[in-house]
Structure 1
């Protein structure tokens, strides 16, 4: 249960010199403060001499939400001309299209990437950088928070082999439209990316590798600051809950008491908080997983996943949460001692009197191993059992009787 999948909406058409409006500026600032706290700006200022940007894949257009002073000096732009824009505004007519697609798919797959990239300054001058990009994940919920991109400008003399990238590569149209109409198919996309990466790693040596290590180190420093800030913010929030006497369940006493009467393995997750942390865990859930209550409250359900967990089942749960619908999957989970078990999991939204989803209930039933040919297609055919629906119904009745009116 995490944040939405990164969007790939186009960059805003706002002119470079136009400053972001107040609402947009607030949204950009909140993107950082909600994930890392108000002090994150001060933490990143210590790294202002390094060129890097932080982008938010959850906002339309995947815009820049933080930029270092060195990045602004390198590109010639002002901060208000950069914030709120997708980094693709640095691209130009000779930017390698394969590198662009490589970055795009790295974002979609939430993974790191590195390459030599041709960018353009505000004045239109081309320059090459060693570019490293990596995702930042929450240390408590495991959700994707941001991407960090680090840059190190280099002279063309260090990377003469990349001049051939200025010509339209294999898989693109010839003629005037070569750089704007890529012909990318399932057959040639992987080969293009592999060719680019192979040429990069094979031909880099000496000073080139040193440049790569510098950007990698900068990336590590920035991510370290963000991860530490995120953890400190979450620790402070947990401490606040404990000081308010809500550490045990995160719910009011009457609602917790009502839930305790439901004899089923289930958890209640708060959809209004980042990462959808567990607000209540039943005794049978604790017996099934081997955890103590204070070890699961405030954590995302992702801690039950492991090496053998099927990504297809995880994506099905994520899609259901995004669509505010229910789903049932058979998923491989792991107990506290590391032993795996098959979980027939049913996830369902719980709404307030306005129809907004305020909780998600996840009901677990221990099940035998599925057939060896269990597939993503078969996952979609699983229907909830009477036990699943009974537990969900009991949860909704308990919520309704404690001040909420359920809507279907």
Structure 2
């Protein structure tokens, strides 16, 4: 948990100047900020207004996923709409039933927008403004309609071990399985059951509520833009540019974040085959932070006693597009050496083309059997399988989105 909180602090400290939290705390709006690059897509900032509205303390929400505010009456179709917006990295405005800490229901106008890195087009955060709604009854039970923004988201022991504490609804709720698409009829059946078990009457967002949400979002982005300028890492509200082909979608990053083992993803189509994703376990193993790893070739882990013949073997396997497993001496950030049982494998997208290479690291000498009794070899193959599923699912979704907009 401490390492997770460290990543959350870094999420803000590495992007903005040190006074950004104080500036955000001065805003009276109800909002949270989340980071899709951290495992579990957690909340990294919550405003005073939001905490007062929800009844939670800051310590109770930082590091948690926004689903903690949902309950039995929350519209599942609305949740799917929000996840589609996250997957497609676009804004959404929708009426939603959430719950306070004391269990009381709260209708809100939920307005979410991605925060883009100006220079490479990556999504660094999502901002979610929440405007409480007055209790005006409507005819329909669950409001999944978009309210002003054009919208659309994101059994073996080996799988269980790799995904670790993967979100329960992803593991057990078929609504949320990667690549699983429900028909409107299926979703409507789920919604009918929710309405039957919950007598809470829905609320309608007024034009005043919508303007309030937009004004709040303007205020937040004004602060984020100003303090990112001071840090030299400018963010913007719309994707300004994509400097290279190594951009990973937020949905793919979130899917990869569920894999609890040490691994990196590299892009063979970019110069020097840089790392485009590094797992939390890899960062813990090597002692580096994410910004010190991304966009670098994996050779930075080598040192004075690393066997050059092993490096040649790795290069040959990559050139021939074949998997390989080696034992290599690597070095942590503090220069301490460790023997790395390394497996490298090509990862193909839904069209069959190689999109990435994955490198899975297992430190020799540690207890590598895992709580499910898996050998290092099976752990590595399980990670490769999980990465393949995530990449293919992401590429299929991207292809589907392009065909729908064509």
- Higher CA-based Rg: 1
Q: Comparing both chains, which one has the higher relative contact order based on Cα–Cα distances under 8 Å and sequence gaps of 6 or more?
A: 2
